[in-house]
Amino acid sequence: MIQTHHLSRRYGPKLALSDLSLRVEPGEILGFLGPNGAGKSTTVKILTGMIRPTSGSALVGGFDIVQQPIEAKRKLGYVPESAAVYDGLTAAEYLDLVACLHHLDPKVAQARRSELLELFDLLEVEDQRMTEFSKGMRQKVLLASALIHRPEVLFLDEPLDGLDANAALVVKEVLKQLAAQGKTILFCSHILDVVERICTRIVIINNGQQIANGTSAEIRETTGTASLEQAFSKLTGVKDVGTVASEFIAALEKA
Amino acid sequence: MPGARMIPRFFAALGIDYAQWLALTKVALKLDWRQTSLGGSRYRARRGSRAAIISQLIFYGIFGFFMAFVVWQGTDVFLVGLVLTSYVFFIVGTAVLIDHNSALTSATDYGVLAFQPVSSRTYFAAKLANVLVYTLAITTVAAFLPIVALFVVHGAAIGFAGVAAIYGISLATALGMLTGYAWMLQRIGADALKRALSYVQLVMSFAIYGGYFLMSKSVVSNLATAKVQKTPWLLLYPGAWFSSYLDLAAGTWSTFDVGLAITSLVLLGVLAAGLGGRLSLDYSARLAALAATPVKQKKSRAARSGGARLEWWHRSGEARAMAVLVRSQFRNDQRFRLTVLGVLPLTLVYVFMGVRDGTIVDPFVPPPAGHGAHFSLVTVAVLMFPSLLKISLSQSESFQAAWVFFASPTDRKRIIQSSKNALVTFFLLPYLAFVAALYVYFVHNVWHVLLHVLFLGLLSHLLLQLMVLLDPELPFSRPWQKSRNSGMLFGFMMVIFVAAALLQVFGPEMYQSVATIGVVLGVLVGTSIIVDLLTRARIAGQAHSLEFEG
């Protein structure tokens, strides 16, 4: 379970996140949407204990992420948008490190590592350093590392980024099955049709504030639009995309 | 085994998770090893630079050989200890300043570990272990021959005391500097942290290099009498505290020696306790703040007019791009800036020593009969400054951004030459102006000074060109490699010292007539042109094999 209570974060004078209160229940996949710089990554960083909120509180897996960070972090798995890994390690070594940090029994860790690497088609390259990996392969390692300790709560920031179509299908199916097992999943993505297809509920934030919360159908109905894409554009105040594109082309030609 | 269980319990008592600490330490060492040539990283594989580590071993070996010679000749064991501890103090201090300055503030660690269930104490302990493995390994390689000499010449008791003194000063230097960095991380707000770290780096560089040179001067003057005058000033120098172990082992101790030895033990205790206190630091939050906070920069008048000046001074697009890149990397790339700030004080300390020794004299006037030529550390400083900067110019934590050089229609020769020219513009020319002003103050003959500074500038530029010829890398295009910079720095310093010594011997001859001055300047300019052509040819030859390393 994820629960935030009046969560805010300030970077100097800029308010990146303002008074966010949300609750994600076990078994739910929450689509967390917003334009660039809306405060999505700030929210996820707070919920994963990477930064502290300026005010408010958050519970992850039943633990306060500020007061009990280690306990909360034991319950969560995270795929960061930055795709940061120690790329001098092999995929197997990296998964072993993460397993070690979560105090998994070595035999259990090895079995799960093999399962996950096989699932993501990486078993053949498990002893290859990740400096040699493509973006998609690194993303698969990150997904495997987020799952190896069987976390209760998953934070996925653009998890399909770089994945080929087959791997993306596998990941989407894995997420559905994990949710069916009662895991709590927060899913950040800019690919709206994927969000629409796999998320049970959607929250949209803009300028650090929550501006929509409901199922895709509810949001479409509230905004009076035909698709989630149109609803998103309307809610986040984007001008007509045709006009924006024309202005852009005109600026290029002028330069 | 009960012993195996004792270790995790000991760590747990310190609030450190042993299993996590072990895993993090192993991974850190593995990653460092793989970044070196012997580890076979693909980044360095094409350069065949197994030589990088081997050359470091050779340089440390040569230094160690000289130190072993001093040990062999020394009769006063306290003086011998002082020489050895000063030497280790300098080597370890430089390694931490140049190679480990960002050990506690790794952005990569933040991205990978901040969301894992690792406490700040465990993380800090792993980083500490990583740095100590390096510094103790360097100490072992650098001090191996002197230690052997100590055992052979002075016997086992003094030998063991020497080992304790050498590892004691090594540990104290590394712990002291890390405490400084940690203290700063804990006390200073995120907005001022980057700037504050720069000041700490400067202060520590001055302390290491200044302390070393003042002490080496004192040691050299004492070597003549083969006996150290134990004045209260020695109380200010940590190397002397540890050297007292040798007097204690030799049985020639006084109350003063006992006081020094106790002070050394107190120092280690205070540093261990100090770092223990720092272990409670919340690194996750601090690193996040450091990563998220931009350096506030006031837009000065100079910066506003900088664009126009850049266009005038740097004509080609590549030259302007390099000028902007080098300047902005110095402002924003924490590691590059700390490395430059770790080198800068060395050159200023040399100038200070030159002033103190009275070696800033009219180079046109030969030394009085019966006196040898003055060896000027100012000359050494001018010759080494830009080349030392070049060593760190090709590495960056954001090396993956170098794709832009490969994917844009730029001239690789111009990029590399322009990065060299940026060093000349931003560092060498201002430094030459400073040295010229200093000479004018002491020498008064402006024309002599201008000619001498012109000569030094050309020579320094030539050395920089040779560095580029030897290592024609695109700027900021390679990942950081631990120990590479300090190793190259020591090696390069040896070459510069030899060049400066030759210059002092032949300098007065050169300035005897207009003809000789003309010939020497002509040869310098001619050589510079030839090296430039060779560099262009080498870069052109490499262009086919060079690939983006990100």
Chain A CB contacts of B285 below 8 Å: 51-52
Question: Which two structure tokens, joined as six digits, stand for B59?
Answer: 């340089």
In the block, tokens 């506690």 appear at: B104
B63-104 per-position pLDDT tens digit? 788 888 888 888 888 888 988 998 898 888 877 777 766 666
Q: Is B115 on the interface with A (CB under 8 A)?
A: yes
**pLDDT at position B41, please?**
44
Question: Which two structure tokens, joined as six digits, stand for A182?
Answer: 């009662």
Say whether A45 sits in a helix, a strand or coil: helix
Q: Is B288 on the interface with A (CB under 8 A)?
A: yes
Q: Are A101 and A148 in contact (CB under 8 A)?
A: no
Interface test with A, best of B112, B113, B120 (most A CBs within 10 A): B112
A38-65 per-position pLDDT tens digit? 999 899 999 998 888 999 999 999 999 9
**pLDDT at position B37, please?**
46
Distance (Å, whole) CA B96 – CA B474:
26
pTM: predicted TM-score of the whole model, two decimal places:
0.75
- Bridge-partner residues for A209, per DSSP? A206
Contact B27 A86 (CB under 8 A): yes
Contact B112 A85 (CB under 8 A): yes
A34/chain B closest Cα distance in angstroms: 20
Contact A88 B111 (CB under 8 A): no
Phi, psi of B365 (to 5 degrees): -95, 120
**For chain A, which residues lie within 8 Å of any Cβ of chain B, measuring from their own Cβ?**
11-12, 45, 48-52, 69-71, 73-74, 76, 78, 80, 82, 84-86, 88-89, 93, 96-98, 100-103, 129, 131-132
For B285, the closest of A52, A88, A132 (CB atoms) is A52
For A73, the closest of B22, B108, B117 (CB atoms) is B117
Return all residues near B42 (Cβ < 8 A) that are at least 6 apart: A129, A131, A132, B549
Q: Are B438 and B355 in contact (CB under 8 A)?
A: yes
End-to-end CA distance of chain B: 46
A105-157 per-position pLDDT tens digit? 999 999 999 999 999 999 999 999 998 899 899 999 999 999 999 999 999 99
Interface test with B, best of A101, A128, A138, A148 (most B CBs within 10 A): A101
Closest to B469 measured CA to CA, from B383, B529, B392, B384: B529
Residue type, A146: A
Q: Are A47 and A2 in contact (CB under 8 A)?
A: yes
A89-106 per-position pLDDT tens digit? 999 999 999 999 999 999
Residue type, B406: F
In the block, tokens 């493509």 appear at: A134
Interface test with B, best of A75, A76, A97 (most B CBs within 10 A): A97
Per-residue pLDDT of chain B (550 residues; tens, 9 = 90+): 566 678 888 888 888 899 999 999 999 888 877 765 444 444 444 444 555 666 667 777 777 888 888 888 888 888 889 889 988 988 888 777 777 666 666 767 888 888 899 888 888 888 889 888 888 988 998 899 999 999 999 999 999 999 999 999 999 998 888 887 777 776 766 556 667 767 777 777 777 777 767 666 666 666 656 677 777 777 788 888 999 999 999 988 788 889 899 999 999 888 887 776 665 445 545 655 655 554 455 554 545 555 555 556 666 778 888 888 888 888 777 778 777 887 777 788 888 877 877 778 887 777 666 555 556 778 888 888 888 788 778 888 778 788 778 777 777 888 888 888 888 988 899 999 999 998 898 888 888 899 889 988 999 999 899 888 887 888 888 877 666 666 666 677 777 777 777 777 777 777 778 888 888 889 999 999 999 999 888 888 776 666 666 5
**pLDDT at position A201, please?**
95
Nearest CA in chain B to A80: B111
Distance (Å, whole) CA B411 – CA B297:
32
Say whether B120 sits in a helix, a strand or coil: helix
Closest to A4 measured CA to CA, from A15, A17, A28, A20: A20
Closest to B284 measured CA to CA, from A46, A116, A216: A46
Cα dihedral B139, B145, B150, B151 in deg (nearest 10): 100
Say whether B371 sits in a helix, a strand or coil: coil
Phi, psi of A179 (to 5 degrees): -65, -40
